[in-house]
Homo-oligomer: A and B are copies of this chain.
Amino acid sequence: MNNSAIGVFDSGVGGLTCVGELRRIMPCENIVYLGDTARVPYGTKSRDTIAHYARQDIRFLERHDVKMVLVACGTVSSVMMTVPIFEGSSVRAFGGVIEPAVEAACKATRNCRIGVIGTPATIRSECYADAIKKIRPDIRVTAKACPMFVPLVENGYTSPQDKVSRLIAEEYLEVMREEQVDTLILGCTHYPMLEAVIGEVMGEGVTLISSGREAARAARDALEKADALTDRREKGALELYCTDSEELFAENAAAFLGKVDMSISKCSLTI
């Protein structure tokens, strides 16, 4: 049993879909979240710079005495598959968003055709395709960058009836329908906000795998295995930190999490 908080970080607000899922499946856990909004996006930066930023983010969470660090950033998750970012850190449990989603997708597919959508940086890195090939070389992977999805989410075009989101989703997902994928990985933590539109365009037979949701489940499994779940019975606290304006972050946080009790503070990472 361990009553310390779960630490989560992302380059911005997208990782809050992961936080929402953590709270749904482990409502009594305390959560400390860091969104590095002053330096968002990470995806366009070099791997060295991304690793440096990630280590700073981890150190910030360590100072909040967390029992685990969940990397809710697709870009950092991809970098950490080859560059050590937890070395020298006192955090013992950690995880990214790629492997849990890949495992879930490989379990879900029946026709061995998996689609992956993500930011241009994630798709260019081929991290999902590589991870799938490693455990299931027989699976055909179709990957597609969807650069408009993040701006759509961040500007509120998330209603299932929204015409703009529908047009763009139809354009991006056409190749997934042509390739008859039966499982689609939402490889960016923003995308679950468009799940309704994506689900309608893909049709009922297709399983959507949210990388943030799977990462949250994997985190619970890891804590359970290590006997490190909380024994608290009341609702856990939610502390959010950002590196740019709190006002902007608060607006976005509400869109991702709905109206919930949370504290939001601006922090500095300049070391």
| Binding stretch for chain B, among A61-69, A99-107, A160-168 | A160-168
| Binding stretch for chain B, among A147-155, A175-183, A205-213, A225-233 | A147-155
- B44 contacts A244, CB within 8 Å? yes
Q: Is A81 an interface residue (CB 8 A)?
A: no
- Which B residues are CB-close (under 8 A) to A133? none
One complex includes copies of this chain to the number of 2
- B164 contacts A155, CB within 8 Å? no
CA distance A46 to B266 in the complex (A): 13
What is the interface of chain A, defined by CB distance below 8 A to chain B?
Answer: 37-38, 40, 44-46, 147-148, 151-152, 154-155, 157, 163-164, 167-168, 244
A38-B45, A164-B168 are known; give 12 further A-B pairs, CB within 8 A.
A37-B44, A44-B244, A147-B151, A147-B154, A148-B151, A148-B152, A148-B155, A148-B157, A151-B151, A163-B167, A164-B164, A164-B167
For the complex of A and B, the 6 pairs showing the least CB-CB separation, nearest first, are A151-B151, A147-B155, A164-B167, A148-B155, A164-B164, A163-B167
